Copies of this chain bind each other. A is one copy, B any other.
Amino acid sequence: MTGAPGPFSKTAGHCARRIAVEEGFTLPEVWTAARRVLGDRVREEPGEAFVFGLTAPAPRSGTAGPPPWLQVLMDLDERRLADMDVCGIDMQLLLLASPGVQIFEAGEARELSMLANDRLASAVARHADRLAGLAVIPPQDPLFAAAELERAVRTLGLRGAVINSHTGGEYLDGERFEPILDAAERLEVPIYIHPRAPSPAMVGPYLDQGLVGAIWGYAVEVGLHALRLIFSGTLDRHPRLRLVIGHMGEGIPFFLDRIDTHYGYGAGWGRRSRPLRRRPSEYFREHFCVTTSGMNWAPALRLAIDTLGSERVLFAADYPFEDANAAVERISAFPMTHVERTAIEADNARRVFGLPVAAGSGALGSPPKKGDRALG
């Protein structure tokens, strides 16, 4: 990332602020604890241990150190804001980096989630016009998680929860997680199901060839999670639950028609015996929004807009894991209408996460302001 303005500045023509909604951060305390726990629990968490470089393939000479983005991941002030300025992102919605607190024993998970939410709220308070955040909660202890979500939303001003897919191999359609889903509905905040490595019961075949992480396994894991929530009838029990998934819907939009077709073939012969109230795609369109994290790529963006509608697609850069400059460059170059762009780059994020409209923020129709890309 350089200090010069990116090419995005040439492609402006819109005056909405740009909000990125799946942006990572961590705390030194969480990072250190995760390395320790994963080192001790390679057998129980083989996928995550692999992603963290604690198992084969052995790092090649020169790559054994911490990943290049680690320092940036821990910064919640100058460096982060400067990077946002460079690439043209006005606001980041922050998520504690995967796997959050879900690999910890419940007591440690409770402590670290509170610490992370407090620390995040404090950063948001320092930079209220640039940062917002989602609470991290430990599904290991569903009642605590529900209470911590309430505290994070009501007291700390966070905007929902991030859950990094499975917890100990269990998915949110499991009955014991009901208190969390109840709380999200009651508080009227979304749950962002962020990826982590595939659950232990299915990670095996992804390990051999290194397909565990963002390259493939992440999408497999969250795609399954989202469909389990639909097919289990969980969304019939939680009609107001709102969910967000990244990476352009983790492949589900591409298969939406096929999923409906095979659901329509009916139960029996390898299909579910309990019918849903509606077609699977109706649950997906009503309950889910998707973000462009790691997938700011024209063919996939086109497909998502065409199949879901521009009101269900939100821009995300996945900073600092992905090249945020390239993400902005690509979304800026993507041909879409002013209305679509305003929705995808800012207004959908405001609506879904209840983000404040900052003074002079340049919502649709308001005049360009200093630093707005329209002035570039």
* Closest residue on chain B to residue A254 by CB atoms: B254
Give chain B residues whose Cβ lies under 8 Å from the Cβ of A272.
Answer: 57, 209-210
Cβ A273 vs Cβ B208 within 8 A: no
User: What is the interface of chain A, defined by CB distance below 8 A to chain B?
Assistant: 50-53, 57-60, 63-64, 67, 169, 171, 173, 198-199, 201-206, 208-216, 219-220, 223-224, 227-228, 231-232, 247-248, 251, 253-255, 257-259, 261-263, 266-274, 294-295, 297, 299-300, 302-303, 306-307, 322
Cβ B215 vs Cβ A228 within 8 A: no
Cβ A231 vs Cβ B211 within 8 A: yes
Cβ A227 vs Cβ B211 within 8 A: yes
Cβ B255 vs Cβ A219 within 8 A: yes
Give chain B residues whose Cβ lies under 8 Å from the Cβ of A51.
Answer: 269-270
Which of B202, B216, B255 lies in contact with A216, CB distance below 8 A? B255
Q: Top 3 A-B pairs ranked by shortest CB distance? A: A63-B268, A210-B272, A202-B202
25 sampled A-B residue pairs with Cβ under 8 A: A53-B269, A57-B267, A63-B266, A64-B268, A169-B205, A173-B209, A202-B205, A209-B227, A209-B228, A209-B231, A211-B227, A211-B228, A215-B271, A216-B255, A219-B255, A247-B258, A251-B254, A254-B300, A254-B303, A255-B300, A257-B297, A261-B322, A299-B303, A299-B306, A303-B303
Cβ A60 vs Cβ B273 within 8 A: yes
A303–B254 alpha-carbon span in the complex (Å): 9
Cβ A204 vs Cβ B205 within 8 A: no
A202–B204 alpha-carbon span in the complex (Å): 7
Give chain B residues whose Cβ lies under 8 Å from the Cβ of A299.
Answer: 253-254, 257, 303, 306-307
- Give the residue among A50, A262, A295 with the most B Cβ atoms within 10 A: A262
Shortest A44–chain B CB gap in Å is 15
Q: A202-B204, A257-B299 known; 10 other A-B pairs, CB under 8 Å?
A: A53-B270, A57-B274, A59-B267, A198-B202, A201-B204, A215-B263, A216-B224, A220-B224, A253-B299, A303-B303
Give chain B residues whose Cβ lies under 8 Å from the Cβ of A306.
Answer: 299
Cβ B210 vs Cβ A224 within 8 A: no
A299–B251 alpha-carbon span in the complex (Å): 13
Which of B214, B270, B294 lies in contact with A213, CB distance below 8 A? B270
Given the known interface contacts A59-B273, A247-B258, A259-B216, the answer about A224 and B199 at a Cβ–Cβ threshold of 8 Å is no
Give chain B residues whose Cβ lies under 8 Å from the Cβ of A253.
Answer: 299
Give chain B residues whose Cβ lies under 8 Å from the Cβ of A58.
Answer: 273
Cβ B214 vs Cβ A258 within 8 A: yes
* Closest residue on chain B to residue A252 by CB atoms: B216
